[in-house]
Amino acid sequence: MVAQRADVAEEPVLVQLAGGALPYTLRRSPRARRIRVVVDPARGAIVTVPGGRRLGAGEGRRLAATFVAEREAWIRGHLARQAERRARLVELGPLQTGSHIPLHGREHRLVFVPARTETRRSSVLRDAGSAELIVRLAERDDRSAAAVLRDHAFELHALFDEPPAPGA
């Protein structure tokens, strides 16, 4: 099955390597100038090769297979870390008052409270003394509680140049 998006063609590929079978998505893009691999948390490994007149489909498949074989350890390492993060998130269970999530290497207890009526955007306050994250959910905010927490983690990352919490 080949998925088409504008002038980009994608197809699923399963290659047999030293470490076993490794699935990836082969993407041929006429805008690509070189071959590259991205490991997406939702879609897995995506290998983009130049398409169109630059490289024929058969040559693109061969280049991608060689490229993936050379980078097998790196790709498998990223896929394993992402699977580990997903498993940790499942372990944490649903986001609700009393749930615990990691932030900056420390467990924080979540407390969800409604924001004032006129508030347009949800916010997160961190009570460092009690290790609580107080999430004020605004009725007018279309984001989910998970999206509010993810945005908060990325804002902290930008502010302190620290990585966001795993799985955020």
Residue 36, both tokens: 């590259």
pLDDT value at position 46?
94
3-state class (DSSP) for residue 26 = strand
pLDDT value at position 168?
47
Taking the whole predicted model, whether its pTM rises above 0.85 is answered as no
Alpha carbon 21 to chain centroid, angstroms: 22
pLDDT value at position 54?
61
Burial of 98 (0-12, 13-18, 19+ CB in 10 A): exposed
pLDDT value at position 6?
61
- The pLDDT tens digits along the chain (168 residues) read 445 456 778 889 999 999 999 999 999 888 888 999 999 888 899 999 987 666 666 788 888 999 999 999 999 999 999 888 888 777 777 788 888 887 777 888 899 999 998 999 999 988 878 888 899 999 999 988 888 888 887 777 666 554 555 554
